[in-house]
Amino acid sequence: MSKKEITVQDLVNDASFRRMVIGTASEQDIRKWNRWMESSDKNRQLAQKAMAEIAGFQFAAPSLPDVDEEWKKLSRDTIQRKEKTNRGTSKPGSFWKWTFRVASVVLLAAITGIAFYIYQSAPEPIASFEQIIEKQSVQTGADEHKIVRFNNGARMFLNSNSKITYSINQHTDKAIEVVVEGEVFFDSGEKMSSDASVFKVNTPDGVIRDIGTRFLVTVLRDRSRVVLEDGSVEVNMGDQQPGDQVVSMMPGELLEFNESEVVSKQQVNSSFYTSWATGVMEFDETTIREFVTYVQQRFDVEVQIVDEEVMDIKLTGGIYFRSLEELVRAVSDIANIPIYQSADRKTVYIGDHAAKN
């Protein structure tokens, strides 16, 4: 380690430290970082913060063991064992007994650190990790969006007035467990296996599992809604028994369900529902009338149609936007019709004689 003052960002950017956190470090790297973390409380605190930033969640600091007691346990299993033959005579297997004793010393040193343990076995040393995981919660207020990113490329986008509680173990193939309140868009990112779930999403009405997927989950008052943008998902309703058939979805489908049944399943323009998270709106022979319905529902504004003749105009293509103002301007340019907002931004006017307030 360098003599200079180490910061959290230094650890985050250190390739050796990152390898240790994600479970691909060599035995030499593990020993080095364990020694550094054990050297002071400050180092352990820096390591915890850096691990949290790399892994995407907080590491809980385990309580330190009773070192004297651990030595006693190790002594009973190793040093205090008596050889029945002459102790000065080398016997087959004696080398591995001492190897075990050395490994025991390494193990004792490791468990006085944070969140990592080192084990060795003959004839090849193997390093494995045990990571202390705790549930994390993220919440948004009115007019607030948040993104949770994971180091495997997966992301969760929280809409306003929403909450998630999630847990993850990055050293196993288990899916990220998420409990949703409100509305959340899930992006599984790139995955090693096309048939393994990245997310297991729980709502009051059931469980949604993804397979290489981008999908939206909305928890409503008496039901849950899933809109699938890409890939596939499987839904288990709350009252289903083991062995019951799951409900599968295809891209572009909207599914609403409660604990006991499918309320509705239909084909929709998924970007109408997910654009708040992706910033992308896609049109495929979409009429202005359909666009009006989307604007009213998504932005909670009033839309006044000044010229009814424009309502059947069809739009094809895609646009990127970050606000209602940008969306209105882009659609106006594409459709070549006047679309305006009122000065207080609470009303949208569509048509040749649209009023400008």
120: Cβ contacts below 8 Å, ≥ 6 apart:
99, 102, 103, 106, 107, 126
Report the share of the chain in percent with pLDDT over 90: 33
Query: What number is the average pLDDT over the span 331-337?
Result: 89
> What is the average pLDDT value for the chain, to the nearest integer?
75
Question: pLDDT tens for residues 248-276?
Answer: 999 999 999 999 899 999 999 999 999 99
Cα 135 to Cα 103, 104, 217, 219, 331: the distances in Å are 33, 32, 20, 20, 43
Q: Which of 64-78, 229-243, 248-262, 308-322 has the lowest mean pLDDT?
A: 64-78
Q: Which domains does the chain have, with CATH numbers?
A: 8-111 (no CATH), 136-271 (2.60.120.1440), 279-350 (3.55.50.30)
Instruction: State in Å, rounded, how far the first CA of the chain is from the last one.
Output: 65
Query: What number is the average pLDDT over the span 167-189?
Result: 84
Question: pLDDT tens for residues 27-63?
Answer: 777 778 777 887 888 888 888 787 777 665 444 444 4
- Where do the DSSP E strands lie in 38-122? none
